[in-house]
Amino acid sequence: MDALIKYGREDKNVELRDIPQPPDPAPGQVVVEVGAAGVCGSDLHMWRDHQSWAIKLPLVLGHEFCGTVAAVGAGVETFKLGDRVAVETAAEVCGNCAYCHSGDYNQCPHRLGYGALYDGAFTQYVTARQQILHHIPENVTFEQASLTEPICVAYNALVEKTPVLRPGDIVVIQGPGPIGMMALFIAKLRGASEIVMLGTRHDKRRLTVAAEIGATQTLNIDEADPLELARSLGDGYGADLIVDCSGVSIALKSALEMVRPNGTITKIGWGPQPLDFNLDPLVQKAVTLQGCFSHLYDTWERALQLLSTGQIDLAPIIGGVYALGDWEAAFEQMESGENVKSVLVPA
Point out which residues bind Zn ion (CB under 5 A): 40, 93-94, 97, 100, 108
Closest to Zn ion by CB, 111 vs 190, is: 111
CB of residue 59 to Zn ion, shortest distance in Å: 14
Torsion of CA 182, 184, 187, 188, to 10 degrees: -110
Q: Helix H segments across 22-145?
A: 41-47, 98-101, 142-145
Is 85 in contact with 71 (CB distance < 8 Å)? no
**Shortest reach from residue 40's CB to Zn ion, in Å:** 3
What are the CA-CA distances from residue 252 to residues 11, 47, 243 (Å)? Answer: 27, 25, 10
What whole-number distance in Å separates Cα of residue 295 and Cα of residue 292?
9
Write the DSSP symbol of residue 164: P
User: Closer to Zn ion at the Cβ: 260 or 295?
Assistant: 295
Shorter beta-carbon distance to Zn ion: residue 64 or 194:
64
Judged by CB, which is closer to Zn ion: 108, or 197? 108
Q: How many CB atoms lie within 10 A of CB 253?
A: 14
Q: Taking the complex as a whole, how short is the minimal distance between the CB of residue 38 and Zn ion, in angstroms?
A: 7
Distance of closest approach, residue 151 Cβ to Zn ion, in angstroms: 11
For Zn ion, which is the closer residue by CB, 178 or 263?
Answer: 178
Tell me the Cα Rg of the chain: 20
The CA distances from residue 231 to 66, 170, 211, 222, 240, in Å, are: 42, 11, 20, 18, 11
Q: How far is the CB of 12 from Zn ion (least distance, A)?
A: 20
DSSP summary character for residue 313: -
Task: State which residue, 9 or 101, has the beta carbon closest to Zn ion.
Answer: 101
Contact present, 70 and 63 (Cβ < 8 Å): no
Shortest distance, CB of residue 111 to Zn ion, whole angstroms?
Answer: 7
Pairing of strands 194-199, 217-220: parallel
User: Which has the closest alpha carbon to 181: 155, 143, 160?
Assistant: 155
The CA distance from 23 to 4, in Å, is: 19
Nearer to Zn ion, 97 or 292 (CB): 97
Question: Distance between terminal CA atoms of the chain?
Answer: 10
Q: Which is nearer to Zn ion, 178 or 199 (CB)?
A: 178
Q: State in angstroms the smallest separation of the CB of 105 from Zn ion.
A: 6
Provide, rounded to whole angstroms, the least separation between the CB of residue 84 and Zn ion: 20
Q: Rounded distance, CA 178 to CA 200, Å?
A: 15
User: In 3-state terms, what secondary structure has residue 59?
Assistant: strand
